Homo-oligomer: A and B are copies of this chain.
Amino acid sequence: MRVLMVEDDHFHASYLQDALSEALPEVTEIFHAEDGEKGQDEALQGRISAVVMDLQMGHRNGIEAARSIWAQRPETRILFWSNYADEAYQRGIADIVPEDSAYGYVLKTASRENLKLALRAVLVEGQIMVDREILRLQRSNAGPRNRLDDSEFNVLLDLALGLQDRLIAERRNMSLRTVQNRLLSLYDKLGVDLSVEDQIPFNKRVRALNRAMVTRTINVATLEAAQREFEEWMRGR
């Protein structure tokens, strides 16, 4: 069994390597790439069936690399291994994981035992495994019914890029008024108004982006990805 580690932090990489060889005796070779770009090349070139992938890396982040890998070899098993439990990452992963693919998501703060367990479950057994911490955090943000559905999330991305209502409507094939309705529910779910008890008049659009970032609903990587998608859409218009 050939396993690829994609991890730009040197210390984490060597720790991971130790854990890998301890937990999975069936591993015959361990490869190491230090950014997303090299990682995806290596995974597609070499006959790699299992990958452990860091999420935040300089050149190309883990989600983008994973998408490319899965696009060509959806049977690849990928364990994401990350510092943070941002909803943005969890949502990004959910967007790209193919039907029936094995994957997992573990935090770097997890215990060694936990990591080894996840390595075995995902890379060897082909299970799906998401760290409890991540699910917990995800729910705590999503209090009563605060979870954004896909349609709202898309509008949030467009808003975050700075698009105007008119353009969002065109891009998402909605009427102007519908876009504004989505924005209203966004403002509601992100808690735009209920900040300070006094009724401070906020600029709702900016405040929405602020809240989305602070609650880790989206992050900078999300913004950059959304920008690229938007530019592509603009070309074919």
Contact = CB atoms under 8 A, between A and B. Distances in A.
Interface of A: 9, 11-12, 15, 108, 159-164, 166-167, 192, 196, 198, 200-210, 213-214, 216, 219-220, 223-224, 227, 231, 234
9 contacts: A9-B11, A162-B208, A162-B210, A166-B201, A198-B234, A200-B234, A214-B220, A214-B227, A216-B220
Nearest to A204: B162
A159 B161 CA distance: 16
Given A160-B206, A214-B220, 10 more contacts: A159-B203, A159-B206, A161-B207, A161-B210, A162-B192, A162-B207, A205-B206, A206-B209, A209-B210, A210-B223
- Identical copies in the complex: 2
A15 to B, nearest CB: 6
Contacts of A208: 162
A57 to B, nearest CB: 11
